[in-house]
Amino acid sequence: MTPYFFGDPKRPLYATYHAPRPSAALDAAVLLCPSIAHEHAASRAALSALARRLAADGRHVLGFDYTGVGESAGEIGRGQFLRWLRDIDLAIAELSALSGARALTVVGVSVGALLAAMAFATVRAPLQQLVLWDPVIRGADFMAALERRHRQQLGRRRLAPDSQDDLLGYRFPADLRRNLAFADLRAGLEFAAGMRISVVAPDESVLVRELGESLRARQVPVTITRASATPVDAVATALAAQ
């Protein structure tokens, strides 16, 4: 695993590159899009395990942190949602140039799946497959759960005026909250023609079923897999099956 920074030198993004063994290398590369806020740290170990597994299978794998998240430079501010979408576009271009692979896949976990789908409107590189790992389908649902959990932790305490944008210790300016609340993974997948979609989720909820039906109605190949006790294995299997 090689950690490094890429992108704008004034606001570089942190990345980790897992290279396959030269003798086992495939003409395939995978970009890992993490979640945000408290889920970012919680999912780091699982994404690292997935990266090692995919690299051992012969794939080039790039993980990265969005602007203002994790180890990447920058602060959460106005226009953050669009900035994150541009980060995904930039990371796909970086992986394509780094690996030289023609078969590019994006794996998005939770909010990362939502962001990846929304980013397809501007992504320039041809993508072969999108894997949605326990995806947030409606950003409004994620925001509602986050705000509810924040209220429970806050109890009767009052926030200081300079902490009004905080949710669970993470900054969510008003425009970021609005953009996330209006974001819908299904709308992003309007741009999924010609791409294979794999959904790996703990259970097949109503929203997941509706997503599958919508994609199939538009002749977009989609598979839905119920995650096992070892979801990393389920995601790796979904990739290998394509």
| Residue 217 C-alpha from the chain's centroid | 25
Other CB atoms within 10 A of residue 87 CB: 24
d(CA 27, CA 17): 16
d(CA 202, CA 110): 12
Largest CA distance in the chain: 60
Q: Does residue 178 sit within a domain?
A: no
Q: Does residue 191 sit within a domain?
A: yes
Domain count, the chain: 1
- Residue 154: its pLDDT value, please? 65
- Residue 91: its pLDDT value, please? 95
Of 193, 199, 189, nearest in space to 222 by CA: 199
Q: Does residue 169 sit within a domain?
A: no
Q: Encoding tokens for residue 154? A: 């806050």
pLDDT exceeds cutoff 60 at 202: yes
- Residue 205: its pLDDT value, please? 80
Lowest mean pLDDT segment, chosen from 61-65, 123-127, 154-158, 193-197: 154-158
What is the average per-residue pLDDT within 154-164? 55
Q: Does residue 159 sit within a domain?
A: no
Q: Encoding tokens for residue 174? A: 């008003």
Q: Are 138 and 184 in contact (CB under 8 A)?
A: yes
Q: Encoding tokens for residue 129? A: 């497959």
Q: Does residue 174 sit within a domain?
A: no
Q: Does residue 48 sit within a domain?
A: yes
Domain that holds residue 228: 2-139+185-240
CATH number at residue 223: 3.40.50.1820
pTM, 2 dp: 0.91
Q: Does residue 161 sit within a domain?
A: no
d(CA 67, CA 114): 16
Q: Does residue 52 sit within a domain?
A: yes
At residue 80 the predicted structure's pLDDT band, cuts being 50, 70 and 90, is very high
Tell me the average pLDDT of the chain.
Answer: 86
Residue 66 neighbours by CB under 8 Å, 6+ apart: 13, 34, 36, 72, 83, 84, 87, 115
pLDDT digits (tens, 9 = 90+) for 41-63: 888 889 999 999 999 999 999 99
128-142, 205-219, 225-239: range with highest mean pLDDT: 128-142
pLDDT exceeds cutoff 80 at 190: no
pLDDT exceeds cutoff 70 at 27: yes
